[in-house]
Amino acid sequence: MAVLDETQMREGVDRETVETVQSMAGTYKHGWETEIEMDFAPKGLNEDIVRLISEKNNEPEWLLEWRLDAYRRWLTMESPDWAMLNIPEIDYQEQYYYAKPKSMAEKPKSLDDVDPKLLETYAKLGIPLKEQMLLAGVEGAEEGRKVAVDAVFDSVSLGTTFKKELAAAGVIFCSISEAVQDHPELVKKYLGSVVPQNDNYFAALNSAVFSDGSFVYIPAGVKCPMELSTYFRINAENTGQFERTLIVAEKGSHVSYLEGCTAPKRDTNQLHAAVVEIVILEDAEVKYSTVQNWFPGDENGKGGIYNFVTKRADCREDRAKVMWTQVETGSAITWKYPSCILRGDDTQGEFYSIAIANNWQQADTGTKMVHLGKNSRSRIVSKGISAGHAQNTYRGLVSMHPKATSSRNYTQCDSLLIGDKCGAHTVPYIEVRNASSRVEHEATTSKVDDDQLFYCRSRGMDEEEAVALVVNGFCKEVLQELPMEFAMEAQALVAISLEGSVG
């Protein structure tokens, strides 16, 4: 492979491993396309398109106005330029903002009525849309686990599983377009309350043209009986996906939410600008896990998804807790900073991240921990891995406001470089505005530590085993935070790129 030949290999690096890493993009598993007739809104972006999307979703007047307001604000804004990303100019008029499979023209009553071609798509991706017990896939795990899935295909949600069982517990889990119809008061109350329309350029764009996404409402005191999951698939060409997710966790409730995404291999870039808002009230807890595996482009950097995402959790009341876990392996460009607003006293925010950038991928990702409440705690563990010609940046903010006394943050950012043509960067912002809070930030960039290798070797391990052991430890802190279903997928993705690849 041409890219590989240019890369100078370090002594001790297993050539095979490097080849495997280099070829990851070439072997993107989910790069196939579903051939299906689609209904497109006309290309381009203007107020009429915004109206059309709103009309297609049969939205109330207030939501249309909300969208138009966002669109008008977006027109006055500029694309952010502060990330360490080289973003080619995006022609927003050359995109489709709404694409819906023709067979979905009439909304199917249940998943059984959905076009088999679409169901096949998800079966091929390994996403269960049948209400069956899921084996976690872990050897030795005897107990079956249930995961409810909302499947979003281009601009529309195909359906949601386990609805009845969830409803029995009082949990609402449906597409956001359904929520607008069935629970308008909840949507109106919370939409935009965490990420306002003019929060940033991409959030404004999303607010104007979002077509679907998931809505989750967990009533007070309820521990959601199963894990909830949304699976996003971009299929149509030149189509942007703009999903909007809203999660509301009432007092004392608890939910674990998973998100996955893939897209076909194409040699043009595609746009994905999502917004996720999470509202967490007193004593409630939300765990949000993502495995982001959008098509990253080929080994020459052609194609791939541009992923501009705004994700934010608002721990609005005392003792609310949020945990973000992300494994970012896909996308040509990733611009993503899942954040925690720790508004209540004794609130807690956690962020665990593995970001892998290979070939010509660029990732600028991290988190924001905004401490407003007393005695609030946050923890950030970020592991960045760069290979090929990729650039991988951790960017994060820890802010202790004057009133957030006796708060605590611990941040650890580690980067690993594989090959001499890539870059790994760390850009933390630390703002401490009171004395009783403690903030600690640590970051390292390195290859595998010789002392650790020596330690292992001197206890009789061979070099390969020693490297494997040390490197395995690199990602473990993050992987162990993932729910089991995702841990398997993530481990497989990470294993390819890490195994014995440093020396």
Partner 1 sequence: MMPRAKLKAQKVEAAQALLADRTLPEGGAWITKARNAAQARVRDMGLPTKRDEYWRYTDPRRLTDAGVVAGALHDTKGEPLVFDQIDRIKLVFVDGVFDEQASDPLVLDGVEICQLSQAARTDLHWARDLYGSLDARAQSPVERPLASLNTAYATEGVLIRVTGKPQKPISLIYLRKSETADAMLHHVIRVEAGAEATVLENGPIATRFNQVMEVDIADGGTLHHIRAQGRDHERVGSAHLFARLGEGAHLKSFTLTANGALIRNDSIIWLDGAGGSAHVAGATVGDGAFHHDDTVFITHGAPRCESRQVFKKVLRGGAVGVFQGKILVDQIAQLTDGYQISQSLLLDENAQFLAKPELEIYADDVKCSHGSTSGEIDDNQLFYLRARGVPEDTAKTLLVLAFLAEALDEIADSAFADDLRTRLEAWFERRG
Concatenate the DSSP letters of all residues of 116-144 into one string: HHHHHHHHHHT---S--PBP---TT--S-
> From the CB of 274, what's the least distance to partner 1, in Å?
22
Nearer to partner 1, 264 or 373 (CB): 373
> From the CB of 409, what's the least distance to partner 1, in Å?
9
Backbone angles phi, psi at 324, to 5 degrees: -100, 130
Handedness of CA 59, 63, 65, 68 (dihedral sign): negative
The bridge status of strand 227-233 relative to strand 172-175 is: unpaired
Nearer to partner 1, 238 or 434 (CB): 434
Among 183, 379, 421, 457, binds partner 1 (CB under 8 A): 421
Among 157, 415, 479, 486, binds partner 1 (CB under 8 A): 415
DSSP 323: E
Residues 437-456 that bind partner 1 (CB under 8 A): 437-447
Among 94, 420, 462, 465, binds partner 1 (CB under 8 A): 420
Count of residues of this chain found to bind partner 1 when the rule CB under 8 A is applied: 41
Site membership for partner 1, residue 405 (CB under 8 A): yes
Nearer to partner 1, 82 or 93 (CB): 82
Site membership for partner 1, residue 189 (CB under 8 A): no
C-alpha distances (whole Å) from 358 to each of 153, 293, 320, 329 are 27, 12, 36, 8
Please say whether the beta carbons of 70 and 197 come within 8 A: yes
Binding mask 48-87 for partner 1 (x = CB under 8 A): -----------------------------xx--xx-x---
Nearer to partner 1, 159 or 349 (CB): 349
- The maximal CA–CA distance of the chain, rounded, in angstroms, is 72
Nearer to partner 1, 400 or 466 (CB): 400
Residues 229-258 that bind partner 1 (CB under 8 A): none
Please say whether the beta carbons of 245 and 214 come within 8 A: yes
Strand partners, 275: 244, 310
Cα(249)–Cα(219) distance, integer angstroms? 7
Among 43, 102, 433, 476, binds partner 1 (CB under 8 A): 433
> From the CB of 175, what's the least distance to partner 1, in Å?
33
| Nearest to 377, CA basis, from 442, 288, 440, 284 | 440
Among 50, 305, 424, 478, binds partner 1 (CB under 8 A): 424
Q: Which stretch binds partner 1 (CB under 8 A): 103-111, 242-250, 303-311, 414-422?
A: 414-422
Nearer to partner 1, 42 or 402 (CB): 402
Among 145, 183, 251, 425, binds partner 1 (CB under 8 A): 425
Cα(42)–Cα(141) distance, integer angstroms? 49
Among 41, 119, 341, 422, binds partner 1 (CB under 8 A): 422
> From the CB of 402, what's the least distance to partner 1, in Å?
7
Site membership for partner 1, residue 89 (CB under 8 A): no
Cα(446)–Cα(451) distance, integer angstroms? 13
Q: Which stretch binds partner 1 (CB under 8 A): 270-278, 333-341, 421-429, 482-490?
A: 421-429
Helix and strand tally (H, E) in the chain?
12, 23
Half-sphere exposure of 68 (CA within 13 A, CB side): 13
Concatenate the DSSP letters of all residues of 470-503 into one string: HHHHHHHHHHTTS-HHHHHHHHHHHHHHHTT---
Binding site for partner 1 (CB under 8 A): 10, 77-78, 81-82, 84, 400, 402, 405, 415, 417-447
